[in-house]
Amino acid sequence: MARLTILTAPDPRLKERAGPVDTIDQSLRDLLDDMLETMYGANGIGLAAPQVGVLKRIIVVDVSPKDEDRAPIRMINPEILRASSDRATREEGCLSLPEQWADVTRPTTVTVRYLDEAGETRELDADGMLATCIQHEMDHLDGTLFVDHVSALKRGIILRRLKKRKRNGEA
């Protein structure tokens, strides 16, 4: 496994739409493993392929508590089948927007259909942190960042901070 470089905003590659995966082979499984290693190495709970510069519809998530065994989920071509009308607000961060957080409101529960690394179709009912995380990561597949869900004022503040970080070579 290898650690990949995580792109940080502002970067036009984070605003692109990723294409579906049509072949699940060993190189794709290796990419999923590399994404997980990269996510764990950065203390993240989710990572989408566009964040490492790969425009494919793939995400990895693991919201298990730090003191428990890892519980990675690899999702290929994920789709939301159902989303609850009730909504929850949680503070979100993103490995591509280092050191930035904002409250984002999303459906509380979602049902997701995806292919696993063996090419099997699976469905998952997610709630709580897992539901938030999956929706956040799936947004990346359409070039959407969590700041796109907050007010223009708040977004402007965060993006200015990120530009400054890049100028200072911190990103």
Q: What are the catalytic residues?
A: 137
Q: How far is the CB of 61 from Ni ion (least distance, A)?
A: 11
8 Å CB contact between 16 and 107: no
Residues with Cβ within 8 Å of 1's Cβ and at least 6 positions away in sequence, in order, are 30, 33, 34, 36, 37
Comparing CA positions, the residue from 142, 55, 129 lying closest to residue 93 is 129
Q: How far is the CB of 26 from Ni ion (least distance, A)?
A: 27
Distance CA 51, CA 55 (A): 9
Distance CA 112, CA 126 (A): 8
Q: Residue 13: left if φ>0, alpha if ψ -120 to 50, beta else—which one? A: alpha
Q: Which CB atom, from 94 or from 162, has the smaller least distance to Ni ion? A: 94
Q: How far is the CB of 137 from Ni ion (least distance, A)?
A: 6
> What residue number has its CB nearest to Ni ion?
94
Q: Give contact residues for Ni ion (rule: CB under 5 A).
A: 94
Q: How far is the CB of 23 from Ni ion (least distance, A)?
A: 26
The angle at the Cα of 63, spanning 37 to 111, to the nearest 5 degrees, equals 115
Q: Which CB atom, from 8 or from 77, has the smaller least distance to Ni ion? A: 8
Q: Which CB atom, from 28 or from 46, has the smaller least distance to Ni ion? A: 46
Q: Which CB atom, from 51 or from 77, has the smaller least distance to Ni ion? A: 51
